[in-house]
Structure 1
Amino acid sequence: MVLGRNEANKVIDSQATEQRTQVRRAAIASAIGTTIEWYDFFLYNTAAALIFPHLFFPASSSYAGAMQSFATYAVGFAARPVGAAIFGYWGDRIGRKVTLVITLLLMGIGSALVGLLPGASTIGIAAPLILVGLRLIQGIAIGGEWSGSVLLAMEWGDQRKRGLLGSFAQIGVPVGLVLGTGGMTLLSAVLSDAAFDSWGWRIPFLLSFVLVGIGLVIRLRILETPMFAAVVAKQQTSRSPVTDAIKHHWREILLSAGLRFSEQMPFYLFTSYVLVYVVAQHHYSKTFVLNAVLVAAALELVAIPFFSQLSDRFGRKQVYLTGAVLTGVLAFPYFAVLKDGGHVAIFIVVIASLIVHAMQYGPQAAFIGESFPTHLRYGGAGLGYQLASVFAGGPAPLLATWLLQVTGTPYSISAYIVLSVVVTALCGWLLKDRSRSDITDHSAYARPAKA
């Protein structure tokens, strides 16, 4: 009997060890996968601001070139909900792991091909058309990437730490920003302007091939999440998960999209449009602005898990909406400093902008992921998350460029940011906070019967 007890303890210890190993692998795979995805994405952002206007739209004026470049940028955002629907279907049908391998390959290969694409002076109109096609591929891949990466970590670990675990996917954004923007910063600093504009910008894009190989090795070693495996074992998967998510959880999808307005729209102004505004309008060097964004992103690496842990303790809604309100408070001072401040002041507000972003972006993964039952979570969370890309993230640099041109003042962009905060505050108030709920209980997501 004693021997049997010892053997049972060994089995339990072995299972616990394997569980911890898989949780660590899932967290690392989640972070590294989104790091690669967002490394590629932020390379495009930076190049769209600094390189693509004259490379792919050389006949256009400075204003028209920026508008056309950011229009191709917006195309990728429009493709994201399509990717969320496509990969949401497979993620809730065959599992998180296989789906995430496909999204990684699509994003990495699409990005590397941008680095090989000739300019308009070489192949004419085909250059911007191919660029748009590659941008669509990137957008579709990212549309399917986010929810799978979040669920990979969130569905493996301690359910009392879902905020922290879900934030590992979010950490990929500042890491990708550091690598992508850092690579561009280094090259712009060591190369002449002519060399950087001619071929130097291509090097970080081509490195995507290497990063994809690393990401594949990591993701192929991860097992399917226990939550989804249990759904499969009980034969509870949906035949039409995306359709069912829209039919039964349309409210959560729309509220999740609105929840992101004050996080996503300002973020792409803070990290992409700021390059155009400060460099083109006020003639600061590209290297200075890139360095400011780089330092801010590095600090966000710490801020994202910190605020995510706070959301595990105090609730998602409290932390998230605090970040949203602070974003609104910062909106007018931010552009006042960009307009009239010096180097030190600009550096400080760029850092502050990404700290308040982290207050929302960290808890956001669990806040949205928890809003859907396991068998519909990949598609439902993905659709809610990516719909905001169409209405908030994608148009942001384009509308900011237009607002500045039409009004002549950057404070019109500040008002645009405040409007996004109002949308987020309303949706955040209406969306249920499930920080302390059992998300394996499908009955908890059922609508109450009408009397």
Structure 2
Amino acid sequence: MAATGTTAGSMRRIAIASGTGTVIEYYDFFIFATAAALVFPKAFFPALGPAAGTVASFATLGVAFVARPLGSILFGHFGDRLGRKRTLVSTLLIMGLSTTLVGLTPSAQTIGVAAPILVIALRVLQGLALGGEWTGATLLAAENAPKARRGFWSMFGSLGGSIGYVLASATFLLTGATMSEQAFLSYGWRIPFVASFVLVAVGLFVRLKVDETAAFKGEVARHGAARTPFAEALRRQPREIAFASGVLVMVFAFYYLAVGYLINYGTAVLHLARPVVLIIGILAGALFGVAIVLGAVVSDRIGRRRVIIAGNAVAIVWALALFPILDEASAATFAVGSCVTTFIAGFAYGPVGAFMPELFHTRYRYSATGFSYNVAGILGGAVPPVVAAAITAAYGRLAFGVFLAVLSVIALGCTLALRENRHAELTEPAAETVSR
């Protein structure tokens, strides 16, 4: 039984609610990433040509990452004042509506420049919603979990991202396999977007059945809700926010490299068949999930910090080896490159669902955790795919590997600067424990 009195059965229900919502939200998020790699350059940016159209298409991914910290502040404010549950219902609805509307947006051939503008606006809404999603889903589990297994229970929100990506890739693979290339580019790619709203209804049903976390209710009962939680977090724990914002830079860089940039790289540069690239993407996404579970479970035994440090250290070496391996230009080497990249990211990501909340006080935990998480999303998730083409064109692919290695060094340094708090009670301020 958890310290808060939550039974094992209740934890399973909470984990399902946490993971189900993030599966749906990340499915929505990733079908956009997949479409950006395969379809959007032709559908929304045809006037720019193939190369510039691809850059513009990936830039639409980047605007969501810029919006995510804003979303973390917005939804973090409500999450710390009104509760985790209410906020999560809002993020799910906003994400579902935005994704459905992307699928209904006419192409540039139909409405001209208005098409990419609408897509970018809807992508911003996706980013705002996702900025509050992961944090709330993670806190739903972390604030109810027993200390001894907090790493395990807290990883279900992160695991939802892996499952969502696998579903998104499988949907595009099935859609593309059952229709011609022309039909897929014309309307087939829209089907996963429009169909996602059905999944949102399922997610809402699950989340509405879950109670508010005991930690939040206890904090409000004792001290009341924070009036300006984000400002309070900046005032009281600026150091933790600053370093926590760098912990996930490598994870975001590696994962979005694999699920976004490498899909385009495999088809456009290595000239691999699209179904082959998507199947490898599904395998890489599944291994990402396996690595998340492994990292989370190990973190309950040896500490979150050690696991994250190990993942970032290995990433530095792998970043330099990745593109020489990919440039062998075979399906096998592409599979190795994609799968190892996501496995390293997943292993370091597994403990984060517990590590980040353990750093911050309950009254502003949603705001501080969400902001730190999503700043890392900009640095690691938005920047590398956008600059990849420019760096490789000017200095070669190895130079981009060096860039990824530098991001991994930053993540390693930030993790080393933070404490290990796995024995802390989340109903109290983060314990002043020494690093382990």
1:423 lines up with 2:413 in the alignment:
no
Question: 2:347 matched to 1:363?
Answer: no
Offset of residue 360 of structure 1:
0.9
List aligned pairs for 1:136-147, cutoff 5 A.
136-147=124-135
The reply on whether 1:413 has 2:419 as its aligned counterpart is: no
1:36 matched to which residue of 2? 24
Question: CA–CA distance in 2 between the matches of 1:374 and 1:131?
Answer: 36
Residue 134 of structure 1 deviates from its aligned partner by 0.2
What SS class does the counterpart of residue 311 from structure 1 fall into? helix
Measure how far apart 1:16 and its partner are: 10
Structure 1 residue 174 and structure 2 residue 162: aligned?
Answer: yes
CA distance in 1, matches of 2:428, 2:320: 44
Match of 2:38 in 1: 50
CA distance in 1, matches of 2:172, 2:192: 7
Contact 1:22 1:223 (C-alpha < 8 Å) held by counterparts: no
- Return 5+ residue gaps in structure 2 as ranges: none
1:110–1:445 CA distance, 2 compared to 1 (3 A): farther
Aligned partners of 1:445 and 1:238: how far apart in 2? 22
Once the two structures are superposed, what CA deviation does each residue of 1:71-107 show, in whole Å capped at 9, x if it has no partner?
A: 1111111000110000100100010000000000000
Q: Is the Cα contact below 8 Å between 1:147 and 1:382 reproduced in 2? A: yes
* 2:366 is the alignment partner of 1:378: yes
Partner of 2:48: 60
Match runs of 1:331-346 below 5 Å: 331-346=319-334
Q: For residue 20 of structure 1, report the CA deviation from its aligned partner.
A: 3.2
Distance 1:16 1:155, change over 3 A: closer
Equivalent residue runs for 1:65-144 within 5 Å: 65-144=53-132
Deviations 1:200-220 (A, max 9, x none): 111111111101000000000
Structure 1 residue 254: Cα displacement: 1.3
User: In structure 1, which of residues 185, 197, 216 is the aligned counterpart of residue 185 of structure 2?
Assistant: 197
1:436 and 2:436 are equivalent in the alignment: no
Give the conservation status (yes or no) of the 8 Å contact 2:326–2:334. Answer: yes
Give the alignment partner of residue 302 of structure 2, picking from 302, 308, 314: 314
Q: Distance in 2 between matches of 1:394 and 1:381?
A: 19
Q: Distance in 1 between matches of 2:185 and 2:335?
A: 25
Alpha-carbon deviation of 1:405?
Answer: 2.1
Equivalences for 1:247-326 in 2 at 5 Å?
Answer: 247-326=235-314
Counterpart amino acid of 1:420? Answer: L
Q: In 1, Cα distance between the equivalents of 2:182 and 2:277?
A: 19
Distance 1:87 1:443 in 2: 22
Secondary structure of 1:340's aligned partner: coil
What is the aligned-residue identity percentage? 38
Q: 1:373 to 1:445 in 2, by over 3 A?
A: farther
Letter in 2 for 1:419: V
Give the deviation of 1:189 after TM superposition: 2.2
Q: Give the structure 1 partner of residue 230 of structure 2.
A: 242
Pair 1:17–1:159, CA change in 2 (3 A):
closer
Match of 1:7 in 2: none
Amino acid at match of 1:138: Q
- Per-residue deviation, 1:315: 0.5
Report the Cα offset of residue 172 of structure 1: 0.7
Distance in 1 separating the partners of 2:100 and 2:417: 41
8 Å contact 2:421–2:430 — kept in the other structure? no
SS of the equivalent of 1:432 reads: coil
Deviation for aligned residue 1:238: 1.1
Cα–Cα, structure 1 residues 195 and 429, in superposed 2: closer, same or farther, change >3 Å?
Answer: same
Indicate yes or no: 2:348 matched with 1:348: no
Q: CA RMSD in A?
A: 1.7
When residues 360 and 18 of structure 1 are mapped into structure 2, their CA distance, relative to the original with a 3 A threshold, is closer
* Residue range with higher mean Cα deviation, 140-149 or 235-244: 235-244
1:155 aligns with 2:146: no
Q: Deviations over 1:242-285 (max 9, x none)?
A: 11011111211111111111111121111110011121112111
Contact 1:53 1:66 in 2 (8 A): yes
1:363-385 Cα shifts (integer Å, max 9, x gaps):
11211111101111000000100
CA contact (8 A) 2:143 2:426 kept: no
Task: Report which of the two structures shows the higher radius of gyration computed on alpha carbons.
Answer: 1
On the 8 A contact 1:40/1:111 being kept in 2, the answer is: yes
Q: Distance in 2 between matches of 1:249 and 1:443?
A: 10
The 2-side partners of 1:393 and 1:296 are apart by 17
- Return the offset for 1:300: 2.5
Query: How high is the TM-score relative to the length of structure 1?
Result: 0.93
TM-score, scaled relative to structure 2: 0.96
Please report how far the alpha carbon of residue 18 of structure 1 lies from its aligned counterpart in structure 2 after TM superposition. Answer: 7.0
Indicate the larger mover: 18-27 or 156-165: 18-27
| Residues 1:328 and 2:309 are matched in the alignment | no
1:21-70: per-residue Cα shift (whole Å, max 9, x none)? Answer: 33122100110111111000110001111100111111112111011111
Distance of aligned partners of 1:209 and 1:396 in 2 relative to their CA distance in 1, 3 Å threshold? same
Q: Distance in 2 between matches of 1:341 and 1:133?
A: 36
Aligned residue for 2:419, secondary structure, equals coil
In 2: Cα distance, 1:333 partner to 1:443 partner? 39
Q: Which amino acid aligns with 2:398?
A: Y
What's the CA shift for 1:19? 3.1
| Alignment size in residue pairs | 432
Contact 1:111 1:134 in 2 (8 A): yes
Q: Distance in 1 between matches of 2:289 and 2:58?
A: 27
Question: Which amino acid is 2:405 matched to?
Answer: V
Equivalent-residue separation in structure 1 for 2:352 and 2:190 (angstroms): 33
Aligned structure 1 segments of 4 or more residues deviating by more than 4 angstroms: 15-18
